[in-house]
């Protein structure tokens, strides 16, 4: 069997880290006996430079014709002066909307080997950390009515959600909680926002027919505090586009580094989008200094959620754990502890590939 993978390397460190994820995917496919056809496409700043558009029609068409999309980070300061609809990030929003990828799954799991890199006290994260943020991705303030007054002295962005948008996102979150530890926390700002009150109403109605999932509610400001006070209380968090964007970045730092967090953006139909949650970091682009593990772990999510290859996904995750157990670290997760070996992007990718192949031979 051959799977088509639309590969968007992106901007900044995007090409650096995507290259290592591709190596890991090739290694696991060779070990398991299936083929991958990587279809190169462009988006973001690179696409603006080449075509004038952050999301060329040819890229969207290539993604729709693929089984999954592997994406590096997009954007950078060189394009900051462009109008909003022409910025690299507009390409990302357009891709998510074009593929109907309305649910963003962002796991925050702390590998035991990286406990020392966690900024929280050891007793707070004793026993590990494993939570999942399910973020609504194609609605809310990022897609609502927006504008700037003619004199430039006022601007607005509108938060709007429909029942249907909330229900489909929460369905994903309830299913995820059922497959994990059976707890779902819906995060909102229902004491202030009408849109959040709708979220809470819909979630309450849906929870009544799902007694196997313990459902709770929390205001977003309290959730931000609880993530650093007692993150182990959470299993699955479901929330809106803006709140999910912020909370998932906070959760990433609790695990040790944003360079470790993967994500999957999926919908009811069409291929999913698999990408690290970190940015393009243009200051270290091409310097063999970026941590590729978030993108490699995103490729594991591609296998699991995109292709239904759960065993192969587990092989990549096990290889990452094995490499960390050996003491290999990129600069962002290095603590200076005895036994650590700080390596660059390519060496870390090579080590993961070697671990995949070693496990396949055993």
Asked if 142 is an active-site residue, the reply is yes
Q: How many CB atoms lie within 10 A of CB 82?
A: 14
Q: Give dist(CA 105, CA 99) in Å, integer.
A: 15
Tell me what pLDDT residue 5 has.
98
In the annotation, is 194 catalytic?
Answer: no
The residue from 3, 102, 142, 161 that is catalytic is: 142
Identified catalytic residue from 49, 145, 194, 221: 221
Q: Is residue 32 within 8 Å of 65, Cβ to Cβ?
A: no
Token output for 183: 């707890």
pLDDT at 335: 85
- In eight-state DSSP terms, residue 56 is -
Tokens of 8: 């968007």
Nearest Cα residue to 302 out of 62, 67, 2, 93:
67
Torsion of CA 30, 31, 33, 39, to 10 degrees: -30
281 contacts 295 by C-beta, under 8 angstroms: no
> Under DSSP, is residue 73 helix (H, G, I), strand (E, B) or coil?
coil
DSSP letter string, 160-189? ---HHHHHHHHHHHHHHHHHTTSEEEEEE-
Yes or no: say if 275 and 13 are a contact pair by the CB < 8 Å rule: no
Residues 6+ apart with CB under 8 A from 226: 218, 233, 234
Residues 6+ apart with CB under 8 A from 346: 19, 20, 288
In tens, the pLDDT along 70-128 reads 999 999 999 988 887 889 999 998 999 899 999 999 999 988 888 888 888 888 888 88
Comparing CA positions, the residue from 36, 108, 24, 32 lying closest to residue 69 is 36
Distance, in Å, from the CA atom of 322 to the CA atom of 318, rounded to the nearest integer, reads 6
Q: Kindly list the distances between the CA atom of residue 76 and the CA atoms of 80, 119, 158, 253, in Å, as whole numbers in the listed order.
A: 7, 27, 25, 21
- Residue 248 CA, distance from chain mean position: 9
Helices (H), 302-344: 310-325
Residue-level pLDDT at 116? 81
Say which DSSP state 12 is in: T
Which one of the listed residues 189, 235, 305, 332 is annotated catalytic? Answer: 189
Tell me how long the chain is.
362
The active-site residue out of 161, 245, 305, 332 is 245
The rounded distance, in Å, linking the Cα atoms of 273 and 8 is: 10
The three-class DSSP label of residue 222 is helix
The domains found in the chain, sorted by start residue, are 1-102+264-362 (3.40.718.10), 119-254 (3.40.718.10)
Low-confidence ranges of the chain (pLDDT < 50): none
Strands 214-219 and 262-266 turn out to be unpaired
Q: How far is CA 259 from the centre of its chain?
A: 11
Query: How big is the CA angle at 278 (ends 309 and 4), to the nearest 5 degrees?
Result: 35
Active-site residue, selected from the candidate residues 130, 175, 249, 350: 249
pLDDT in tens, 223-257: 999 999 999 999 999 999 999 999 988 988 888 78
245 in catalytic set: yes
């Amino acid at each position: 069997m051959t799977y088509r993978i639309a590969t968007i390397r992106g901007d900044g460190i995007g090409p650096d880290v995507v290259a290592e994820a591709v190596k890991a995917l090739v290694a696991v496919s060779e070990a398991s006996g299936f083929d991958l056809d990587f279809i190169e496409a462009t988006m973001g700043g690179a696409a603006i430079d080449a075509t004038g558009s952050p999301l060329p029609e040819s890229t969207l068409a290539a993604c729709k014709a693929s089984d999954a999309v592997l994406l590096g980070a997009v954007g950078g300061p060189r394009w900051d002066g462009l109008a909003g609809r022409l910025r690299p990030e507009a390409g990302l929003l357009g891709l998510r909307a074009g593929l109907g990828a309305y649910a963003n799954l962002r796991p925050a799991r702390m590998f035991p080997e990286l406990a020392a890199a966690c900024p929280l006290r050891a007793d707070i994260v004793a026993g590990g950390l494993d939570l999942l943020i399910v973020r609504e991705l194609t609605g809310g303030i990022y897609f609502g009515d927006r504008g700037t007054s003619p004199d430039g002295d006022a601007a607005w962005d509108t938060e709007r959600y429909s029942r249907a948008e909330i229900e489909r996102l929460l369905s994903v979150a309830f299913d995820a909680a059922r497959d994990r530890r059976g707890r779902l926390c819906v995060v909102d700002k229902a004491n202030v926002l009408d849109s959040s009150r709708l979220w809470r109403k819909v979630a309450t109605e849906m929870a009544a027919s799902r007694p196997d999932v313990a459902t709770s509610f929390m205001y977003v400001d309290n959730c931000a505090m609880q993530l650093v006070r007692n993150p182990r209380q959470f299993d699955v968090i479901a929330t809106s586009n803006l709140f999910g964007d912020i909370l998932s970045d906070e959760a990433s730092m609790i695990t040790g580094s944003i360079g470790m967090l993967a994500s999957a953006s999926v919908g009811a139909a069409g291929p999913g989008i698999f990408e690290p949650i970190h940015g393009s970091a243009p200051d270290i682009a091409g310097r063999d200094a970026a941590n590729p593990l978030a993108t490699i772990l995103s490729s594991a999510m591609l296998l699991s959620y995109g292709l239904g290859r759960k065993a192969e996904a587990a092989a990549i995750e096990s290889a990452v754990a094995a490499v960390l157990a050996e003491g290999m670290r990129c600069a962002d997760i290095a603590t200076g502890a005895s036994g650590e070996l700080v390596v660059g992007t390519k060496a870390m990718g090579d080590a993961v590939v070697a671990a995949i192949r070693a496990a396949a031979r055993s």
